[in-house]
Amino acid sequence: MKKEGYKVAVVGATGAVGNMMIKVLERRLFPVSEIVLLASGRSSGRKMKFKGVDYPVQELTENSFEGVDIGLFSAGGGISAKFAPCAAQAGCIVVDNTAHFRMDPEVPLVVPEVNPDDIAQYPKKNIIANPNCSTIQMLVALKPIHDAARIKRIVVSTYQSVSGTGKDAIEEMLNQSREIAQATQWSKDDGLDSLWESLRNFKTMKTSVYPHRIGYECLPHIDVFLENGYTKEEMKMVWETGKILDPTIKVTATTVRVPTFFGHSESVNVETEKKLTAQQAREILSKAPGVKLWDDPGKNRYPLTALAAGEDFTMVGRVREDTSIENGLNLWVVSDNILKGAALNAVQIAEILIQKYI
């Protein structure tokens, strides 16, 4: 017999993604019979609202999962490594937003619009992994193109907002941008020399989250560097695309942190087996689940973070044929990294779990 409601724990409830998970559960009317809000001891006792009622945040411990049906984890890989197995052992099904279990062959890695049936594998470890934010939005856009024309190769460059790093990063970007803007007294009547002079003072600004300042800067560095010269974020896009969509697709990625608040943007180039014209691609994308085609350059209509922030869909626009190869397309793909890139995707997985499996 189906339960009427589920006991749901949110691990990292006070963080940027955890907070959004609570809001998405509420907004999508997920049948929650009891909510458990977990974070570090620092937040213990703090109150957070769910459906208009205040709930105390509790310190995460190994005993936090008694009777919990579903645990949505977003408190960092180390926390998931330590506590997701405890939760799973206690009978809680974990939907983990960190990278820790993503490539574990016994853990399904799921984008509901792409490979929902992989959720069936969850009993192997009682854990389901939520993919990397940049991978999720790229695959929502590319799945229908792959189905229609078989993608052979993907070249992607990302422009990722600071909210993907967490609240500390949002604060760092805001403080640095404010400090630079306030200290740079420049108008267009002044020469560029004086602007350079002024900006020089900020070359070695104090940073705590990123290795360099992020205010008015782009950092081609997300997550750690690996031996092959790529960052782990870049390799996540390669590995996860293989696991979720098709291991035969070749992927190469450059991931860049940019000083925007919410929403990741991606320039995606694909080479396909079959020819698709830009118009055919637009038609396919206009019907694809989770996609909002926004592609009318004559009216300056293309995806922007300002349009995608707070929305469930992934925006796709600037659809063009790649004129340098026979069968290729270029796309600009934008989505809210905290929503579809994290919290929404996790709740969608939980929705399928309760509809089909528990």
Contact between 168 and ligand A2P by CB under 6 A: the answer reads yes
Nearest to 80 by CA among 66, 92, 95, 70: 95
Of 165-173, 209-217, 320-328, 337-345, which part binds ligand A2P (CB under 6 A)?
Answer: 165-173
Least Cβ distance, residue 59 to ligand A2P (angstroms): 7
Instruction: For residues 282 and 287, give the distance between their C-alpha atoms in angstroms, rounded to a whole number.
Output: 9
Whether 146 sits among the annotated catalytic residues: the reply is: no
Of 163-171, 265-273, 321-329, 348-356, which part binds ligand A2P (CB under 6 A)?
Answer: 163-171
Interface positions, 289-348, toward ligand A2P (CB under 6 A): none
Contact between 166 and ligand A2P by CB under 6 A: the answer reads yes
DSSP state for residue 173 in the 8-state scheme: H
Residue of minimal Cβ distance to ligand A2P: 15
Residue 16-55 contact track with ligand A2P, rule CB under 6 A, x = bound: x-x--------------------xx-xx------------
Q: Regarding beta strands 264-272 and 151-160, do their DSSP bridges make them parallel or antiparallel, or are they unpaired?
A: antiparallel
Q: Which residue out of 92, 100, 146, 264 is catalytically annotated?
A: 264
- Cβ count within 10 A of residue 217: 17
Q: Which is nearer to ligand A2P, 162 or 285 (CB)?
A: 162
Q: How many residues bind ligand A2P (CB under 6 A)?
A: 17
Nearest to 295 by CA among 152, 275, 284: 284
Q: Which is nearer to ligand A2P, 62 or 197 (CB)?
A: 62
Nearest to 316 by CA among 297, 337, 302: 302
Residue selected from 75, 92, 111, 315 as contacting ligand A2P according to rule CB under 6 A: 75
Of 6-14, 84-92, 106-114, 227-235, which part binds ligand A2P (CB under 6 A)?
Answer: 6-14
Q: Which residue out of 92, 100, 133, 146 is catalytically annotated?
A: 133
Q: Which is nearer to ligand A2P, 35 or 75 (CB)?
A: 75
CA–CA distances in Å: residue 137 to residues 36, 111, 341, 354: 29, 9, 7, 24
Torsion, Cα of 222, 224, 230, 235 (10° steps): -80
Number of residues in the chain: 358
Of 90-98, 109-117, 160-168, 298-306, which part binds ligand A2P (CB under 6 A)?
Answer: 160-168
Residue selected from 9, 14, 25, 233 as contacting ligand A2P according to rule CB under 6 A: 14
Q: Which is nearer to ligand A2P, 26 or 246 (CB)?
A: 26
CA–CA distances in Å: residue 234 to residues 78, 114, 142, 222: 20, 20, 17, 8
Instruction: For residues 214 and 193, give the distance between their C-alpha atoms in angstroms, rounded to a whole number.
Output: 22
Nearest to 345 by CA among 136, 205, 157: 136
Amino acid at 48: M
Q: How crowded is the C-beta side of 3, counted as CA atoms within 13 Å? A: 17
Whether 264 sits among the annotated catalytic residues: the reply is: yes
Q: Which is nearer to ligand A2P, 43 or 348 (CB)?
A: 43
Q: Which is nearer to ligand A2P, 102 or 146 (CB)?
A: 102
Catalytic residues: 133, 264
Which spans of this chain sit near ligand A2P (rule: CB under 6 A)? Answer: 12-16, 18, 39-40, 42-43, 60, 75-76, 79, 166-168
